[in-house]
Structure 1
Amino acid sequence: MRADVSDASAPRRTTALLWVIAGLLLVGVVAVAVYKAWPLLNPTLVEVAPLDPSCDLRAGPCDARLAGGGRVRFGIEPRSIPVVTPLRLAVETTGLNVRAVEVDFAGVDMNMGYNRTALASVGPGVYEGQGTLPVCVRARMDWEARVLVHTPEGILAAPFRFETRRD
């Protein structure tokens, strides 16, 4: 009778072992995905320009000055900065050896997910592109547009704050 009991539990042990192996494989796949995506989601920055609290992107483009003497000018149109509407993004750089420019939009006090736009070079030190801000449940939302300037020395960041309003 004892042989019958052990024979009946063998398939259950095999099934349990397969579930454990499948779970470990899933954890491994997720770990590799996080490892590969981490630099994209959280790039290593060489320098971050100080935030200019007097900047008002609704009034026009704003400047950020870097410690090394470079300057980043950023503008958004339309100046009302509507959500879920294509926005024209413009960046001008001076005093920098630029390889690429991206604009990363992030909610100041609410995670709004990954929202980064690569800009195209349209002339020496001039980059343009199009981006869209997602809709938020709040009528008023504070945002930070972080201009990421890729240089041979690394990535420089220039933050610009603004707000959106829904009627």
Structure 2
Amino acid sequence: MHSRQSPASRGARRPRLRLLITVTVVTLLIALWYLLRYELGDHQETTWYPAAPGCDLHQGPCGVGLEEDERLTLAIPVEGDIRPLESLPLEVRVDGVEAQNVRVVFEGVGMDMGEHRFHLDAVQGGEPGRFQGVGQLGICTRERMTWRARVSFDAPRGRLGSTFDLDVERSLP
């Protein structure tokens, strides 16, 4: 009643099992590498500068003074209101210091909405220190959601940045 497998059939399974184990281990290592790179990549030591209170990104650009003649400015130039789930043009201007690897990270204030990360590209043929990209805010169940834009960049003296808060009304279908 109990059948025994021949040595040949057991031997045929071993290479498949080894292959499956190898593929699984490689997949886990790649996932671990990606997770560590993703988690640690944006959290190196950053010098944060407080944004000017009362600035409203719905009305126009918001800026912050860094050191002496240095300035960081964020603009989201949309027609009408800034809304969730819509493509948002992002413009960052850095004056007085060389900037590379400019990024904007949106995160919910008072509610965990995850991090929405967007890397901006230098404007080709334009003034130095101008960067552009496209971002998007997630949707929230609240009627009004406060989002924080963390803008950071790499400078010769390290990573610098500032935060800008904006209130967004929920879009109705």
TM-score interval (norm. to shorter): 0.7 to 0.9
Q: 1:69 to 1:139 in 2, by over 3 A?
A: same
Aligned length: 140
Which residue of the partner structure matches residue 109 of structure 1? Answer: 110
Aligned to 1:66: 66
For normalisation by structure 2, the TM-score amounts to 0.72
Instruction: Give the unaligned 5+ runs of structure 1.
Output: 1-24
RMSD: 2.1
Task: Note the C-alpha offset of 1:36.
Answer: 3.6
Q: Which stretches in structure 2 are left out of the alignment for 5+ residues?
A: 1-24
Residue 40 of structure 1 aligns with which residue?
41
Matches for 1:73-84 after TM superposition, within 5 Å: 73-78=73-78, 80-84=81-85
How far apart, in 2, do the equivalents of 1:53 and 1:159 lie? Answer: 11
Instruction: Give the whole-Å Cα distance in 2 for the aligned partners of 1:152 and 1:127.
Output: 17
- Alpha-carbon separation, structure 2, partners of 1:153 and 1:64: 18
Instruction: State the alpha-carbon separation in 2 of the partners of residues 91 and 59 from structure 1.
Output: 16
> Aligned letter for 2:55?
C
Does the 8 A contact of 1:49 with 1:67 survive in 2?
Answer: no
Q: Percent of pairs identical after alignment? A: 33
Displacement after TM superposition at 1:71 (Å): 0.3
Query: 1:115-136 deviations in whole A, cap 9, x for unaligned?
Result: 1111111131111110011111
Note the alpha carbon deviations across 1:55-92, whole angstroms, 9 max, x for none: 11111001111135410111112151110000000011
